[in-house]
A = this chain, B = another copy of it.
Amino acid sequence: MSDHGYEAGRLNLPFVGISTFAKKPYVADWDAIDADVAVLGAPFDFGTQWRPGARFGPRAVREASTLFSFGHAGAYDHEDDATYLGGDVRIVDIGDADIIHTKTTESHANIEYGVRKILAAGALPVTIGGDHSINIPCINAFSEQEPIHVVQIDAHLDFVDERHGVTEGHGNPMRRAIEKSYVSGMTQLGIRNVSSTAKEGYEDARARGSDILSVRQVRKLGTDAVLERIPKGARIYVTIDIDAFCPSIAAGTGTPSHGGFLYYDVLEILQGLAKRNEVVGIDLVEVAPAYDPSESTQILAAQLLLNFLGFIFHAKAQR
């Protein structure tokens, strides 16, 4: 594309071009990942208990992310007077993990494989679900890494141990995570109203050292006080269930719950986190585009991920 490429003058409007994440290069060979960030799709949704469709989350978030590809030399944010994601931050899209219909364990194994490849390449893994069960293989992939503290942003506790033999559904991931020797702790933000986790789950989570805060509790404490509760120096894995947000801006999800976070609630937590801690892994799950004809949900997911990545590498550059 030498003589018509962007450098040579393509305007490259958001609606033009193949929908990889943020229109970044697609790397099909997972042994050839050479980047700061690698985005993996995990289009698995057999773990849902209400509306399915999160399997189309990766495609939806990728397409929405092209809306934010205006900037060429990074994205300038006038509030922060900072330019994020300049050419020095190398992001690649490695496509999707292979999903096998009717097969949960096998599909999860393929997701884990992808995240391990990203980690092996020294890149920051950003996995786009799929339902929240895909967090299980994502966390599994960190088994050879230094310990991590998990920050979950979600409406639901997802702390069911087992029901009817189910241990790998979208109600189980946080219970699975806390069992890992290399998961040093957990902060669960946005948790509200009823879910598949019963009272015992809450007690169990707290007993195992989890810090659970509702949307109203987070707001009452304020961003700084919330951040203070997260261990200083801990390596952070962030898992964002889009249903943490108010259905007003994230209706495209399987199990919406009213009373959720608004945009700045979460953005400011992420920005603070990027400054205070090292972020070593991210997943964003439960975007189910079929339920949001306005596409606002995937735009939220893309806008959030790109800003979060900007914050992370901006903070890193300033350390």
A residues in contact (CB < 8 Å) with B: 1-5, 9-20, 26, 28-31, 41, 43, 45-53, 55-56, 59, 62-63, 67-68, 70-73, 75-79, 83, 93, 95-104, 106, 110, 113, 133, 157, 163-166, 168-170, 191-196, 198-199, 202, 212, 214, 216-217, 246-249, 251-252, 255-259, 262-264, 267, 290-296, 299-300, 303-304, 306-307
Contacts and interface: CB of A to CB of B under 8 A. Distances in A.
A94 B119 CA distance: 31
Contact of A11 (B10, B53, B93, B98): B98
Contacts of A199: 76, 83
A96 B303 contact: no
B13 A31 contact: no
Given A4-B113, A19-B19, A296-B256, A99 B11 contact: yes
A98 to B, nearest CB: 5
Given A47-B101, A76-B198, A110-B4, A247 B299 contact: yes
Contacts of A26: 18, 26
B29 A106 contact: no
A97 B264 CA distance: 37
A110 B16 CA distance: 12
Given A70-B194, A110-B4, A194-B68, A133 B102 contact: yes
A196 B102 CA distance: 15
Total identical chains: 6
A220 to B, nearest CB: 11
A49 B70 contact: yes
A291 B16 CA distance: 19
Nearest to A105: B102
A6 B99 CA distance: 12
Nearest to A72: B198
Contacts of A169: 101-102
A166 B50 contact: no
A291 B291 contact: no
B1 A30 contact: yes
Contacts of A48: 101
B194 A79 contact: no
Given A70-B194, A103-B165, A252-B294, 4 more contacts: A1-B29, A52-B55, A53-B290, A247-B299
15 contacts: A2-B31, A4-B98, A18-B95, A46-B102, A47-B102, A68-B193, A71-B194, A76-B198, A102-B168, A247-B294, A248-B249, A258-B300, A259-B267, A290-B291, A293-B294
B53 A258 contact: no
A51 B15 contact: yes
